Amino acid sequence: MLEVGTKAPAFSLPDQNGQMHSLEEYRGKKVILYFYPRDNTPGCTKQACGYSQLYPQFQEKGAVVIGISKDTVASHKRFEEKQGLTFTILSDPELKVIQAYDVWKEKKNYGKVSMGVVRTTYLIDEDGVIIKANDKVKAADDPAKMLEEV
């Protein structure tokens, strides 16, 4: 996991509509950047819906929410439509940003070891510096916790 106080790695990725987004375009705003394993799974859905419900409150505080997973743009679009999501989700199938933010790790599931995205949330300040980093994320609690942090 990246350390608090370090510069957040720059990125440019497509969202659920195929439009490109870069970290640079959010300068001057706080950014909640959260990495999640997969669209339409129970934990990821709870987390995304929580962020979606609280999104107006994040906006009031001058913050944006961005989710990133290795799912495709098309998968993100289905996830957005099915769940009624109101924020940006970025597609990183090549794992460039996922690896830059150090969230691609060995995971154990029922004794089986595989590589995957470890659910992680970063809070990035207006100048692009990481001010909060959490890799012990409880999907359902994360949105409310991050709203308090902003």
Task: State the catalytic residues.
Answer: 44
User: To 10 degrees, what angle do helices 42-60 and 73-83 make?
Assistant: 70
Q: How far is Cα 61 from Cα 43, in angstroms, rounded to an integer?
A: 26
Q: How far is Cα 51 from Cα 66, in angstroms, rounded to an integer?
A: 9
Handedness of CA 69, 72, 74, 75 (dihedral sign): negative
The answer to whether residues 63 and 34 touch, using CB atoms and an 8 Å cutoff, is no
Q: How far is Cα 70 from Cα 115, in angstroms, rounded to an integer?
A: 12
Between vectors from CA 139 to CA 100 and to CA 130, what angle results, nearest 5°?
Answer: 35
The answer to whether residues 55 and 86 touch, using CB atoms and an 8 Å cutoff, is yes
